[in-house]
Amino acid sequence: MNKYLKRTLVVSTIMIIIFVIIMVWPLPLRKVLRKEADTTAMTVSLSEHDTNISSFSLSANSVEYRKIIEILEDYTYHCTWYSFIPHESFTGHGENLIIYTGDSGIIVDVDKGRVFVDKGTAEHTYRIDYFGHNDAAQLAAQIKKVLKI
């Protein structure tokens, strides 16, 4: 093989490896939510087919707030093909779990395992789990249990 072809193969391989690492690297779901100074530090809503089922406003010193933060510590999200395209809104087709603190938050499409991450300035769609939607369903079930829904 000539020198140019070898160099091209090495650079291409390195670029592919970097891209795969970016796609599968787990990002902590808890880091999306920032603690705000106001009295209602967290808003949690459940909706199904764009119909709000229930909504809760939790203060930063409530037991439910701390339990939800602990639950979110156990979950991660990662990039998909759609993560590189900014979205202005997100609508799940089934059950949605919506958690916001101030101007940052997440919307989880429980049926598909997708998560819309809204950091106030950047809004992108990711996935919670790598295969299926088991982690998204478990996350929703744990939060429903904390909120006694």
**Token pair for residue 6?**
């070898």
**What is the distance between the alpha carbons of residues 1 and 76, in angstroms, rounded to a whole number?**
43
pLDDT tens digits, 107-140: 888 888 888 887 766 677 888 877 766 888 888 8
What's the predicted TM-score (pTM) here?
0.77
pLDDT tens digits, 51-95: 777 888 888 888 888 898 889 888 888 888 777 777 666 666 778
**What is the distance between the alpha carbons of residues 97 and 51, in angstroms, rounded to a whole number?**
12
Nearest C-alpha neighbor of 147 from the set 43, 74, 39, 77: 43
Indicate the residue type of 69.
Answer: I
**Token pair for residue 127?**
């996935």
List the end-to-end C-alpha distance of the chain, in Å, as a whole number. 65
Alpha carbon separation from 127 to 7, 44, 61, 77, 87 (Å, rounded):
35, 19, 30, 5, 14
Burial 82-119 (b: 16+ CB within 10 A, else e): ebeeeeeebebeebbbbbbbbebbbbbbbbbbbbbbbe
Q: Are 97 and 108 in contact (CB under 8 A)?
A: yes
pLDDT at 15: 96
Longest dimension (CA), the chain: 67
Q: What is the CA radius of gyration of the chain?
A: 18
The residue ranges of every structural domain in the chain are 3-147
CATH of region 3-147: 3.30.1490
